[in-house]
């Protein structure tokens, strides 16, 4: 029987689950896959050989926790490891118990420094999903340095300059992983979302990992460009002092974001990984605004995007009509669609699955035998 892969999926946002599902479908049908996650409702459909095991959240209190023990120092090699939490004990016991019973070939961690280190401690080789951010701390270094390999759901041109040659050599870059890279026809997309063919559409896109953009600055932007139609999808933070013009509409969560991106003349969006890959695949003019995330993840992603020349980047939404005008003019003038499309692989999930299979084969092939998938 083929040894299984394990996969830990963080449940904040949807990107972790979407790239897990993409890899699951690309793996060989005979490769069992056990997914550990605190939620099972964030996943797209999965293949028959994949199953989800729900575990307690590693960072959300339920009320069953002991009185705070925060006076006990947290070692630098851990990020979130509160004491006295039965849910964490249950989650770790479930995963380590599966390690003992299933004898997995590989554990994929997306993302948790603690789960990555648990895998290494339990003598299970792991692959760590690589994210942008200021992650040179001891916890991330332990997870990365102890990994059999690293997997990045973006193109190598978006690598951070502080990732050295050795780190990049251990990384599989898969631009577009987890995203449907088929771009709908612009005219058909406009018809589906109810936007006229001849109007300039400015799309504001907020992902599921945060609270969204503020209503007030978006109102200023829409008022500064009155001939355009502005549509927001995803969350928007309501501001009591916001005064909005008639040309902005908030549609909230939608089931077809790809249609909106394909229909847009300009996209204003944060720099979460799924959002980035959707916009790059559609090759649309992009005003990129990083949101707050742990370890400044989106800010470092924005730096990489700016360096690659695939978006106009601002540190926050423009705060005046003049600033909006300057940002939009730059986004339109510097648009490089061919450069954007080049950062999306033709078959990123297949590339990642092939790399994982080759890595597992190398790990479990005795040194005196040739690896089955050796190039």
Domains of the chain, residue spans: 5-179+346-364, 186-342
pLDDT value at residue 374: 46
3-class state of residue 13 by DSSP = coil
pLDDT value at residue 207: 80
Cα–Cα distance for residue pair 322/222, rounded to 1 Å: 12
Its pTM stands at 0.93
Q: Say whether pLDDT at 344 is over 70.
A: yes
Q: Which phi and psi (to 5°) does residue 187 adopt? A: -65, -45
- Higher per-residue confidence, 58 vs 14: 58
**Residue 64: which pLDDT band, with cuts at 50, 70 and 90?**
confident
pLDDT value at residue 181: 86
With a CB cutoff of 8 Å and minimum separation 6, the contacts of 148 are 106, 125, 126, 127, 359, 363
107 forms bridges with which residues in the sheet?
6, 126
Other C-beta atoms within 10 Å of 310: how many? 27
* Class of domain 186-342 (CATH, top level): alpha beta
Q: HSE, CB side, 13 Å, CA atoms: give it for residue 154.
A: 26
The residue-averaged pLDDT of 210-234 equals 95
pLDDT tens-digit series, residues 249-300:
999 999 999 999 999 999 999 999 999 999 999 999 999 999 999 999 999 9
**Cβ atoms of 291 and 306 closer than 8 Å:** no
pLDDT value at residue 375: 40
Q: Say whether pLDDT at 13 is over 80.
A: no
Same fold, 5-179+346-364 and 186-342: yes
The domain at 5-179+346-364 falls in which architecture? 3-Layer(aba) Sandwich (3.40)
Among 232, 229, 233, CA closest to 265? 229
- Mean pLDDT score of the chain, rounded to an integer? 95
pLDDT value at residue 80: 87
Q: Say whether pLDDT at 301 is over 80.
A: yes
Q: Spell out a b/e string for 227-256, using b for 16 or more CB atoms within 10 Å of the CB, else e.
A: ebbbbbbbbbeeeeeeebeebbebeeeeee
**Cβ atoms of 126 and 119 closer than 8 Å:** yes
The residue-averaged pLDDT of 27-37 equals 98
Q: Say whether pLDDT at 62 is over 90.
A: no
Q: Which phi and psi (to 5°) does residue 273 adopt? A: -65, -45
């Amino acid at each position: 029987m083929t040894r299984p892969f394990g996969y830990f999926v963080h449940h904040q946002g949807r990107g972790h689950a979407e790239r897990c599902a993409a890899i699951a479908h690309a793996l060989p049908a005979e490769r069992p896959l056990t997914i550990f996650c605190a939620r099972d409702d964030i996943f797209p459909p999965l293949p028959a050989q994949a199953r989800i095991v729900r575990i307690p959240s590693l960072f959300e209190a339920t009320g069953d926790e002991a009185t705070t023990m925060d006076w006990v120092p947290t070692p630098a090699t851990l990020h979130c490891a509160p004491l006295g939490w039965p849910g964490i004990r249950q989650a770790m016991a479930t995963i380590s118990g599966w390690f003992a019973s299933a004898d997995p070939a590989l554990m994929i961690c997306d993302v948790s420094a603690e789960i990555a280190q648990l895998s290494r401690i339990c003598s299970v080789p792991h692959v760590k999903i690589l994210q942008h951010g200021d992650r040179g701390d001891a916890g991330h270094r332990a997870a990365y340095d102890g990994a059999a390999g690293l997997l990045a759901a973006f193109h190598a041109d978006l690598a951070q300059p502080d990732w050295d040659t050795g780190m990049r050599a251990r990384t599989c870059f898969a631009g577009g992983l987890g995203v449907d890279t088929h771009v709908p026809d612009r005219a058909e997309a406009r018809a589906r979302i109810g936007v006229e063919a001849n109007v300039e559409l400015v799309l504001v896109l907020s992902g599921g990992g945060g609270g969204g953009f503020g209503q007030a600055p978006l109102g200023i932007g829409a008022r500064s460009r009155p001939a355009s139609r502005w549509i927001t999808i995803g969350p928007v933070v309501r501001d009591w002092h916001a005064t909005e013009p008639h040309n902005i509409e908030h549609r909230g969560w939608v089931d077809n974001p790809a249609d909106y991106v394909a229909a847009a003349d300009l996209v204003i969006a944060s720099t979460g990984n799924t959002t980035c890959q959707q916009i790059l695949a559609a090759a649309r003019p992009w005003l990129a605004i990083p949101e707050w995330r742990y370890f400044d993840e989106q800010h470092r992603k924005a730096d990489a995007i700016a360096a690659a020349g695939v978006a106009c980047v601002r540190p926050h939404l423009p705060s005046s009509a003049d600033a909006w005008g300057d940002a939009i003019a730059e986004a339109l003038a510097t648009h490089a669609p061919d450069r954007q499309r080049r950062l999306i692989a033709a078959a990123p999930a297949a590339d990642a699955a092939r790399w994982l299979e080759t890595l597992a084969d190398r790990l479990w092939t005795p040194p005196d035998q040739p690896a089955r998938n050796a190039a």
